[in-house]
Structure 1
Amino acid sequence: MSAIALLPAVALALAAPGAATDGAPGAGAAAPDPAASTPAAERASAVDAAEAVSPPQAPPEAPGRAARTPGDPLEGFNRFMFRVFRGLDKAVIRPLAMGYKTVVPKVLRSGLRHAFSNLGEPVVFLNDMLQLRPGRALRTFGRFAINSTLGVGGLIDVATPEKLPHRPNGFGDTLGFYGVKPGPYLFIPLLGPSTLRDLAGGTGDGLVLPTAVGSPFTRTDYRVGRAIVTGLDQRAESDTELTTLFDTALDPYATLRSVYLQSRTAEIAALKAPGRNLPGEAAAPDDPLADPLTDPLTDPAAEAAPPAAPAADPMADPLADPAPPVADSPAATGSDAPAAAPGLTRN
């Protein structure tokens, strides 16, 4: 980590409680003692009055102890790990990721990304079921089946254009869905930002396929190769965002922590909110599995509309009196001509 990047953290450390009083103007000069020119009796009465009025002072805080950030009790350790990551990223990870992006064609990189993502759909399906969301689990299964067959083993994402996009889900989300707190924030150089709950959930996600299927998911060469390919691909795809974070953020560590924690809080809240196919709930209007005969613009809470009035005669004159005209008899008009037909009166 460069010295310039450390300046925001140094500035925050210098702003700790007590720094302002050390630099207050006139703090080093002794103030004149008013007691030197006050009689002894007046001084004693003034001291008694001051002790009776002034509230008890709180004990001073221990020097050098800064306030902890809520949710990040291991901030010192995490900031050290973040500096390690900055050094590794600058020296090794980013050059390799940019080389991978330059050498490997975009079609091949996209195919590998889709294939590895498709291998994670069974984990998503399992967590959909654990969260009691059968409709979403069915969509996940449909996406996996389509991409595994028509998409040539997941190399081509055929399901997304068919309104079956990838929806990330894991054991960390399931734990949060059932009320498990995130725990302390963690930053691990090769994994990035996380929490204790998400770290345990990610470990569980990684054990599903090796336990259920076995080889090749248990082989070390496959696991290491997958980690390298996916890690380099993710670093190359997020290069613009990370460069902007490192170059413009006042405190890149705090900014990344805030974005991650807020994002995870919103994702867990969305899981708990009324959503698609939860028990006792109807499918959402944009659900591709909803009833195709149902109008998606119809308000399900609205009352039934009254029956429509019969349509008017399309041959009727729009300027005619809606009341039926009374035909004049020939005797009243004194004419032998027949009465005009309704709707054909002459102007």
Structure 2
Amino acid sequence: MSFSEFVIAMALAHTPATPTPPPTIADQPLDIVTIDVLDRRSSGAPAALSARAQLFGALAIAPGEAAQAEPSGTPAQAPWPVPLEPVPLEPTAPPPAFDEPLLPVDPLGSDAESVADPADGNEIVVTARPRPPKSDPLQELNADTFGVIQDVDQAVVGPVALAYEDAVPSPIRSGLSNFLSNLGEPIVFLNYLLQLKPGKAVETLGRFAINSTIGIGGLVDVAKRPPFNLPKRNNGFANTLGYYGVEPGPFLFLPLIGPTTVRDLFGRVVDLSVLPVAVGKPFNQLVYTLPAGIITSLDIRAEQDEQIQKLRDSNDPYTATRELYLQQRQAEIDALRGKAPEKSEDE
């Protein structure tokens, strides 16, 4: 035996029968229960892989453990997994088409904007209703009431008022209006006293005395003519409250009354209660209150017909009516305070 053959024989004698596998990446034991997984690399039965082999998968699988996991009679597989075939995806169904806008459309909203999609031609209407103003927190309810009253006015009240104006001669209409207006002079007088305006209170008392006597119970307004020159003025308890700084409160639009505020409504109730409480009959009986209310309402409706038509022709009749009423009432309060010239009923 030569020296080289001796060296080879010694090396083979000290070589272990089973080669030591290279160290894997996972050196720390894992306390995970072994589970059964489906090995897609072979067509055989599922192979039981240890948790460590499952954890590192194809990147760091231990070849020794993979070989032990193979059942007997099955050739060992390559340590690297065979790539899986791609699974075709089902086509996604298009979103359902809507014939109507996705957002609700408010026909009463004044700030509606439309956005058109050039891709499909659909139009989405986005409506933003402004917040009610501080003076009109019941705006939606008032607007609904306003709409109903306007319908009734166009169908019944307006035509009846114009028919009354055309059918009844002007002297008779003026006489009835002057008579009812003269009965309200004591209320105007009392409120001028409450407002500490004795001069206007004396003038009002003089008008009442002159028209009640010379004017035949108020049928003829003699006091406004020379030599008296005492104009007709409107005043009431609502004006007295406003004169002393009481705020008008929320705006209201009520049947049979129309535009008003909480302050004006309370003042109106007080004014209408003066004669029934102070005098009694016939001012507290239906035989007087019903015809007096109807005649007064028809006169006012006929006189304001032109203004009502202008408000209806505006872009927003309800808002225009509310703003006009509030401005006129504030102007009357300012006139009592001396901030604006006071207007008589004849102007």
Please name the residue that 1:13 is paired with: 109
Alignment of 1:11-160 (within 5 A): 13=109, 15=111, 19=113, 23=115, 66-160=130-224
Alignment of 1:1-347 (within 5 A): 13=109, 15=111, 19=113, 23=115, 66-161=130-225, 162-246=228-312, 248-273=313-338
Contact 1:84 1:189 in 2 (8 A): no
Q: Quickly say closer, same or farther: Cα 1:108–1:184, change in 2 above 3 A.
A: same
- Taking the aligned partners of 2:182 and 2:297, their CA distance within structure 1 comes to 16
- Taking the aligned partners of 1:66 and 1:252, their CA distance within structure 2 comes to 16
Cα displacement string for residues 13-39 of structure 1 (whole angstroms, at most 9, x for unaligned residues): 1515xx46xx1667999xxxxxxxxxx
- Taking the aligned partners of 1:175 and 1:14, their CA distance within structure 2 comes to 35
Q: Quickly say closer, same or farther: Cα 1:275–1:65, change in 2 above 3 A.
A: closer
- Taking the aligned partners of 1:233 and 1:226, their CA distance within structure 2 comes to 11
Cα displacement string for residues 135-161 of structure 1 (whole angstroms, at most 9, x for unaligned residues): 110000001111111100000011112
One-letter code aligned to 2:171: V
In terms of fraction of residues, the more helix-rich structure is: 1
In terms of fraction of residues, the more strand-rich structure is: 2
Cα displacement string for residues 271-326 of structure 1 (whole angstroms, at most 9, x for unaligned residues): 123799xxxxxxx9xxxxxxxxxxxxxxxxxxxxxxxxxxxxxxxxxxxxxxxxxx
After superposing the two structures, state which structure 1 stretch, 232-241 or 252-261, moved more. Answer: 232-241
Contact 2:142 2:253 in 1 (8 A): yes
TM normalised by structure 2 equals 0.62
- Taking the aligned partners of 2:340 and 2:316, their CA distance within structure 1 comes to 36
Is the partner of 1:240 in helix, strand or coil? Answer: helix
One-letter code aligned to 2:179: A
TM normalised by structure 1 equals 0.62
Runs of 4+ in 1 over 4 A off after TM superposition: 24-29
- Taking the aligned partners of 1:74 and 1:100, their CA distance within structure 2 comes to 34
Shift of 1:214: 0.4
One-letter code aligned to 1:83: G
Q: Which has the higher contact order (CA 8 A, sep 6+)?
A: 1
Q: Quickly say closer, same or farther: Cα 1:113–1:15, change in 2 above 3 A.
A: same
- Taking the aligned partners of 2:173 and 2:197, their CA distance within structure 1 comes to 32
Is the partner of 1:152 in helix, strand or coil? Answer: coil
Contact 2:109 2:129 in 1 (8 A): no
Is the partner of 1:13 in helix, strand or coil? Answer: coil
Contact 1:114 1:154 in 2 (8 A): yes
Shift of 1:99: 1.8
Shift of 1:12: 6.0
Shift of 1:79: 0.6
One-letter code aligned to 1:144: F
Larger Rg, first or second structure (1 or 2): 2
Contact 2:188 2:235 in 1 (8 A): yes
